[in-house]
Chains A and B, each alone.
Chain A
């Protein structure tokens, strides 16, 4: 100890101690990662594993301890009950519609940003991405104001003599809300793809006589495809499991998978059966992400980007 303080010409301090730790850096890379890794392991990996095991235990209301008894009863209950098929069907439909619309609109926005002069691009990018950070509850509330029975949209219809429509608490409302929430993700991933395209390529197509539409269809879309696929997958995965928007804008309580899961756990205390629904949610998002990784890799290879 005294050696150290002599060497540095200063008494052994906390700082000196830190210096010693830092000197071990290359080897201690693992050590300093441990606290964060431990939080994720004990807070996510173990609990999710526990939950999945629970789904193979016999259902018993309010019971949470694992018992050494394997059953597929919870899964069979799900398969045999048409109610859950209809929930799953609606969840898939809402997520798929959201994905298609958000991807198409996001592509248009991303291409327009790509074509914008650098002077405006930064500002407009922030305008497009900023909603991502705004409280989802506040955004959804904005849609409730617009789409409500006496909302802006219906009063506009009334003003031009069209009968008001029931939009709030329907699939349409949920899809509109979700598209709004997820468009920025698509723009983000497509912009990442477009960044790698040489702007001169579009210029060259124009010189050779291609119209704007042809350029987009023949050159920009194929090159942006990895970004489109990545964005669409993220949206699908998030839309399948989104809770806030369906809960606020959808019909009744038991509406999509996520809201039914909430009911099972918070109101019915049927944790074993709820665990089955969680397993479906988890499997869907992991499988879609796996699909995305392989699809993007294939698309990128085809276009020889190597990135």
Chain B
């Protein structure tokens, strides 16, 4: 059999690409366990000192608290609203349904930085709220289309004969909704909620325009920290973020399929 050099070259390229994809994540995690400065890779010894430093840095902890509460609240608000809107679009029969769907998904098309500036100008013009309230509103706006979209995807996949069968057996609309429809699409709604939580937690471009001196989110706290020094405590913090996100990613894949959550199919 003759050797296909093209095929071998392709395989080598693919392996290099996987390396490229995981390299920065791997580097962050590996350096975080050393005791030396960032520049000395590979680490000579094993140490958790940077984890301790990261967890005792007040700006990180304040940012973490803000980011966690904002992400949790934004998810709690956006999930039911987005799911309800998806229901309305999918089931409702009213003029302008397509326009409504376009409106609901519009935040996906507008660059984050434009959303952030538009909100900054609007909030300043009407003198609305504290930085914290502005962040919450901004994050609800940003993750809303994702919860709408995953719920819509779940509704589209739902077999209508299930609901017809329930109705046939005498279930009321309410019973059908609670016992048949909602359980069938719960995974989709849940996946949208987890995805929304991650997005809100990592969001930087919109938050940039909504924070103030006293209220900062974690990604922005890290960004401004890096501006002054490439401090290994950031590697520890980033490692924790990477690990948490990867765990949630696996949950998403199991729950609903990553590709569907990301909206390509």
Binding site for B on A (CB under 8 A): 15, 18-19, 22-23, 25-33, 35-37, 39-41, 43-48, 50-51, 54, 64-65, 105, 108-109, 112, 122, 125-146, 148, 150-152, 155, 180, 183-184, 188-189, 191-192, 195, 211-213, 237-238, 240-244, 247-248, 258, 261-262, 265-266, 271, 274-275, 278, 281-282, 285-286, 289
Contacts and interface: CB of A to CB of B under 8 A. Distances in A.
A10 to B, nearest CB: 12
Contacts of B1: none
Nearest to A123: B253
Q: Interface of chain B, helix or strand or loop or mixed?
A: helix
A274 B119 CA distance: 14
Contacts of B97: 29
Interface in B245-265: 245-246, 248-250, 252-253, 258-259, 262, 264-265
A105 B31 CA distance: 27
Contacts of A29: 87-89, 91-94, 97
B177 interface: yes
B173 A25 contact: yes
Nearest to B124: A64
Given A108-B10, A131-B21, A192-B264, A145 B38 contact: yes
Contacts of B81: 35-36, 39
A212 B7 contact: yes
Contacts of A275: 121
Contacts of B201: 135
Interface residues of B, number: 96
B204 A243 contact: yes
Interface in B13-42: 13-14, 17-18, 20-28, 31, 38-39, 41
Contacts of B167: none
B205 A244 contact: yes
Interface in B144-158: 144-145, 148
Contacts of B21: 127-128, 131, 180, 183
Nearest to B265: A192
Contact of A133 (B4, B173, B249): B249
A127 B39 CA distance: 27
Given A108-B10, A127-B18, A195 B265 contact: yes
Nearest to B26: A142
A141 B7 contact: no
Given A126-B253, A134-B242, A137-B202, A191 B264 contact: yes
B124 A212 contact: no
A189 B219 CA distance: 28
A141 B222 contact: yes
Contacts of B25: 131, 134, 138-139, 142
B47 interface: no
A142 B23 contact: yes
Given A32-B88, A33-B92, A44-B115, 8 more contacts: A19-B174, A33-B88, A40-B141, A126-B249, A129-B258, A146-B23, A261-B113, A271-B121
A47 B120 CA distance: 9
Contacts of B27: 142, 145-146, 152
Given A37-B85, A43-B137, A146-B24, A129 B13 contact: no
A148 to B, nearest CB: 7
A265 B144 contact: no
8 contacts: A26-B92, A50-B118, A135-B201, A137-B238, A142-B26, A242-B205, A278-B114, A282-B114
A105 B264 contact: no
